[in-house]
Chain A
Amino acid sequence: GDSVTQTEGLVTLTEGLPVMLNCTYQTIYSNPFLFWYVHYLNESPRLLLKSSTDNKRTEHQGFHATLHKSSSSFHLQKSSAQLSDSALYYCALTGITGNTRKLIFGLGTTLQVQP
């Protein structure tokens, strides 16, 4: 079935260093939508980025990601981490199970940015 695999667990970075959170996926659907959601403590998850176009970079709030269908990847990047980027990040895929279209989340990656 459809699945999403992310960089596991905790990523700790020093402020100012680049961010790269990996996301790869498996789907039988030829035109998947890929998403990054950010989940700050005591808030609900919020959409950060989305894409369904192959090889096109999408950007928002300093983060960017490019969907590469050839490698089934949608890695999240940022050139310079900020303390306020500390959060849980989910990669998600709109897949299909039978006739059901649903959002499938990876396990999430916690990003901790230190001074």
Chain B
Amino acid sequence: AQTIHQWPVAEIKAVGSPLSLGCTIKGKSSPNLYWYWQATGGTLQQLFYSITVGQVESVVQLNLSASRPKDDQFILSTEKLLLSHSGFYLCAWRTGGYEQYFGPGTRLTVL
């Protein structure tokens, strides 16, 4: 069975500080991976997706970047956090039937 892990579980960071969020999936080779963001009270927005190592496509520009350094790993980062980056970040993988399965998420608070 596939399992998806995200780290950290929660972060409290200062405006202007760097950020790195991680996602690892086990039990699935060459997964299609996605990053989503949900602002408080908002809907889920797809940020990035990746279909293979070293390849990332941006869907929404939020002054964030993503990388796929390994087949099972997807990283979301920025060098300078904004207040507007606060929210819930979810990593997901996609089946051939286009269903997406989400990780447990990271709650980010920017102060």
Contacts and interface: CB of A to CB of B under 8 A. Distances in A.
Nearest to A35: B99
Interface string A104-115: 111110000000
B32 to A, nearest CB: 9
Interface string B87-108: 0001000000111111111000
Given A102-B46, A106-B43, A107-B43, A47 B97 contact: no
Nearest to A99: B57
A3 B99 CA distance: 18
Nearest to A108: B43
Given A44-B90, A45-B90, A100-B57, A94 B98 contact: yes
Main DSSP-derived SS at the A contact region: strand
A33 to B, nearest CB: 5
A50 B99 contact: yes
Contacts of A97: 59
Given A90-B43, A107-B43, A45 B102 contact: yes
Interface of A: 33, 35, 43-47, 50, 90, 94, 97, 100-108
Interface of B: 34, 42-46, 49, 57, 59, 90, 97-105
* List of 7 A-B pairs having minimum Cβ-Cβ separation, nearest first: A44-B102, A105-B44, A107-B43, A94-B98, A33-B98, A105-B43, A45-B102
